[in-house]
Amino acid sequence: MVIGRSASEAEIEFTLAYCFSCEPEPDTLWPMRTVEVSLGTRSYTIHIGSGLLTKLGDHCRRLKLGERCAIITDSNVGPRYADAAVRALKMAGFVPSVVTVTAGEGAKSLKVLGECYDQLAMKRLERRSFVVALGGGCVGDLAGFVAATYLRGISYVQVATTLLAQVDSSVGGKVGINLKSGKNLVGSFHQPRAVLCDLDTLSTLPEREFRAGMAEVVKYGVIRDPELFRRLERELDKIMKRDVNTLSNVVARCCTLKSEIVGADEYETTGVRAILNFGHTVGHGIEALSGYNEFIHGEAVSLGTVAAARLSSRLMSLPDKEADRIRDLLQRIGLPTAIKFTPKKREALFDAMRLDKKVSGGELKFVLAKSLGDVVPGQRVPDADINAVLNLIAE
């Protein structure tokens, strides 16, 4: 798929290419969709499809990467897929080693970062060596940051095994770790050399994780693509059953949207990229409030999305019934759209929001929607309006 084409054009291209490739040559990797992320010398391709993990070595060979590599994975994903990754890399002539970190947000710590560095140094990875990030968002963020900083930056290839990683964190090169005082406070912009979204790996993804990933999918519809939003409403059953064909369309469309946004604002300096934070101002607050336990990221974003939609109706031109549609879709997915507030919890939420790293000059700013598919970043919102909207998302 080429950036900027509509999903339906891409579908036609895909169908044709697939039909004419019934007897694929050994060197082709069908059935697969691709999204190009255009960032000059840092451009790369996202590959989306079935059975991609077995082709990992071939993809790395095409990138002319060095022989030695380290697969960084976690204790959930590693036992399932690390062997396949090692096999694929060895078949292609690489010398992989595996670094397994404990699954969860805890992996994104300075301590685990140091352990990864030590492993890479012990295995004598050098400048042409590379890292394979095998897992979801946390592994991708950690492994990407290891690659960004080991020997002042080596290559990495991302194999995204969660829906969230496939549609969101695999695109755009934001990598990093957490500090005790906040999430993602340390990191870099470091683009992968390639991303593989193997849809087969979603089959083992826990239901809760899959739903959480869908919160970001819905977000893309809200911020940029009403047609995608309608498709989600229409094809939700197939999506939730993880139908590979439907999912490949949806994942490719999300990657295309995000790559367009990132292409316009790689280093988050022009403000364009800020629209990706729709639903994230309240979302991050709720996540921090619950100690990152009660609600996982996508669930907090779901709540934040409802809040941002309600604020958009209150302060911008978004019709109430469109805000209802957003909430209804999230509800159908099985995501939380209401939360219990005590007065103390509400105060803590305000504090957490003000601590977020996106706050500048101490001011809380929101991305708000003028209509479905059209949002504006950097909107100041008075505390009174936030309070009123929190009432609307209170159970």
Q: Which residues are part of the catalytic machinery?
A: 152, 174, 216, 258, 268, 273, 277, 280, 284, 297
Which residue number, 2 or 179, has a Cβ lying nearer to a copy of itself?
179
Backbone angles phi, psi at 139, to 5 degrees: -60, -40
DSSP letter for each residue of 367-380 = EEEEETTEEEEEEE
The single residue among 22, 23, 40, 180 that binds a copy of itself, judged by CB under 8 A, is 180
Q: Tell me, what DSSP letter sits at residue 54?
A: G
Residue 160: strand pairing partners? 135, 197
Kindly report the CA angle at 131 between 129 and 134, in degrees rounded to 5? 155
- Residue 61 to residue 82: CA distance in whole angstroms: 18
Say how many C-beta atoms besides its own lie within 10 A of residue 6's C-beta: 14
Kindly report the CA angle at 84 between 82 and 89, in degrees rounded to 5? 95
Instruction: Specify the 3-state DSSP secondary structure of 133.
Output: strand
Residues in binding contact with a copy of itself, number by CB under 8 A:
34
Task: Determine if 331 is a binding residue for a copy of itself (CB under 8 A).
Answer: no
Instruction: Specify the 3-state DSSP secondary structure of 224.
Output: helix
Which residue number, 97 or 188, has a Cβ lying nearer to a copy of itself?
188
Task: Determine if 122 is a binding residue for a copy of itself (CB under 8 A).
Answer: yes
Which residue number, 7 or 116, has a Cβ lying nearer to a copy of itself?
116
CB of 363 to a copy of itself, least distance (A): 11
Contact stretch for a copy of itself (CB under 8 A) within 12-20, 78-86, 115-123, 295-303: 115-123
Which residue number, 189 or 350, has a Cβ lying nearer to a copy of itself?
189
The contacts of residue 319 (CB under 8 Å, 6+ apart) are: 313, 371
Distance of CA 14 to the CA centre of its chain: 23
- Residue 234 to residue 253: CA distance in whole angstroms: 16
Which residue number, 128 or 314, has a Cβ lying nearer to a copy of itself?
128
Site string (205-244) toward a copy of itself, x via CB under 8 A: ----------------------------------------
Site string (160-179) toward a copy of itself, x via CB under 8 A: --------------x-x--x
Task: Determine if 321 is a binding residue for a copy of itself (CB under 8 A).
Answer: no
CB of 366 to a copy of itself, least distance (A): 17
Taking only Cα atoms into account, the Rg of the chain, rounded to an integer number of angstroms, comes to 21
The single residue among 203, 293, 342, 360 that binds a copy of itself, judged by CB under 8 A, is 360
Site string (139-158) toward a copy of itself, x via CB under 8 A: ---------xxxxxx-----
Residue 99: strand pairing partners? 72
Task: Determine if 359 is a binding residue for a copy of itself (CB under 8 A).
Answer: yes
Which residue number, 115 or 200, has a Cβ lying nearer to a copy of itself?
115
Site string (181-200) toward a copy of itself, x via CB under 8 A: xx-xxxxxx-----------
The amino acid occupying position 347 is E
Which residue number, 115 or 385, has a Cβ lying nearer to a copy of itself?
115
CB of 95 to a copy of itself, least distance (A): 13
Site string (266-305) toward a copy of itself, x via CB under 8 A: -xx-------------------------------------
The contacts of residue 158 (CB under 8 Å, 6+ apart) are: 132, 133, 140, 143, 144, 165, 170, 192, 194, 195, 196
DSSP letter for each residue of 178-222 = EETTEEEEEEEE---SEEEEEGGGGGGS-HHHHHHHHHHHHHHHH
End-to-end CA distance of the chain: 42
The amino acid occupying position 365 is K
Residues near a copy of itself, by CB under 8 A: 110, 113-114, 117-118, 121-122, 126-128, 148-153, 174, 176, 179-182, 184-189, 267-268, 357, 359-361
